[in-house]
Structure 1
Amino acid sequence: MSVSEHPVALTIEQRVGGATVLLATVMALPLLDGLFVALLLAGTLETTVGMLETGLLVFGGSATVAVILAELDESRGSMVRSVLLIGAGLIPLAALQAVIAPTIESALELAVFQRFAGVVILAIAARTVSAKVSDYLPSPGVIILLGLLASIRPSALTVELVVDGELLARAAITAAIGVGFALAVALAAPALRGVVDLDRFRFGSAVALGVFALPVVGVLDTDAPIALAVLIVSGLLAYSPDGGDEPEQDAEEPPESATDTDYAPEDTARAPWL
């Protein structure tokens, strides 16, 4: 299965070249479009469960799995080195965004902005399900910008560099969780290829993202790791040892419904899906 069947990865694949660059872009996208800052400001990383879910769903997720399994046609050692190299840049960038987050927070009405952060996650979940949805939904960056405009309080802005050590550590650990997930997939890639249904995992991850967004939006008030549970179940359901192989039909024997006059073996070569 090609990564081109993953809507988010396809969009990025059309703009960048090379599997390693594609993986780096997919994993860094939350830092580039402002999603990670939005989650920082929404308080998603205040709990261990929130950090784990953010790392696995935002930095990891189905797009990362699709790129590693379908596009990184390298040895296991090369894939591990690529993931570690990406992590070496990803983790410090996540920590840097945690440094500037308090300054942004001082100028925002967090109750309003938090809901926009949840809407962003829901939009990403919808885009993960279908590429056609992208034609009707604004990009995550646009939604975050609208959230900033709707919640900004310029008079309360405090331009002061305040380094919150705990927040910085949580941001770095969250990014490291995503890198660790990608590393685990790279290590297991030879065994996973052919036995993981990427479409099933993609749809399951989209559902997990949707569940993950509910507490952020304020619809569901719980600290239970529901999104994590959905992701784990999605991984189990995506396990397909048969690899989607279809039983072959004996070309010498026509189907029972066919007649001698309308059955032509040479037609099968021209139209193998018949």
Structure 2
Amino acid sequence: MKSIKYDKEEFQDLVNSVTPLQAVEWLLMNGYPIQVRNLGKSTVDILCPSPDHNDTNFGNCKISTNRYDGRAGSRCHCYCCNMSYDSYDILKQFLSYRQSIEALIEISGKVDYYQSSKKIKKKKDPVAKETKELLGLATYPSFNLVKNCTFEEPSGCYFRKCENGSYLIMEQPKWNPWIDLDLETRQWILREKSKEKMIQIGRLARQLTGSEFVSTDTQEIFQYFDQYGRNELLRELDGIFRECQKVYRRNGGKIHNSQELINNQSVLA
């Protein structure tokens, strides 16, 4: 994975935005084995984070909760090696550089800023856009939330007018449900949608070849296709069918014979 790169000033600003005490609390909350004593008191004891100081005794390295710069826990000093340490020094005992940066971003509450500036990557969509389009799934799912209500027509925002004359101010937060789904559920949905699509294609293919009853409305559509046009359409349907078949197989489906699917839905397992 490509490293996150910062210039020296950016890195220091991020480190300074998180106190040593916040770094210690984050490690504790996330289950890392940092040794701490007197948490919640005026002076918190930790073992010195320096790799050059094999500290085994509490009392050498202290985090003061006095507000030296207006923030509690902003000063960490080891009185044995006479060195001061920051939040990054504490985190890197247990985390890689990248993990430390991501932890600092999370603790500082600046996730949106660093995502928008592309300093950290957003979670990758586990379902490709092409797959969604193939199966008829929404490529950019969104939903509407009511943000406010007013009787004066709003401007510069998305709104809906109600029957009683009021206006609902709406917002459409971006949310990708595929990221939150567990693997088993995601595979089941893709498997069922691809199966549904293949069955539709199989039925249409049978209608085109005359092996299945065609409704009057469909007959009117088919009459515009000569034999060459029907063959071209069948070839196109075959290509779509094969792509759906790949999705079906990738997500745990088993197809014994592709041609049988067109004639018999029961081959899907």
Structure 2 length-normalised TM: 0.20
Alignment TM-score, normalising by the size of structure 1: 0.20
Q: Which has the larger share of strand?
A: 2
Name which structure has the greater RCO, CA cutoff 8 Å, separation 6+: 1
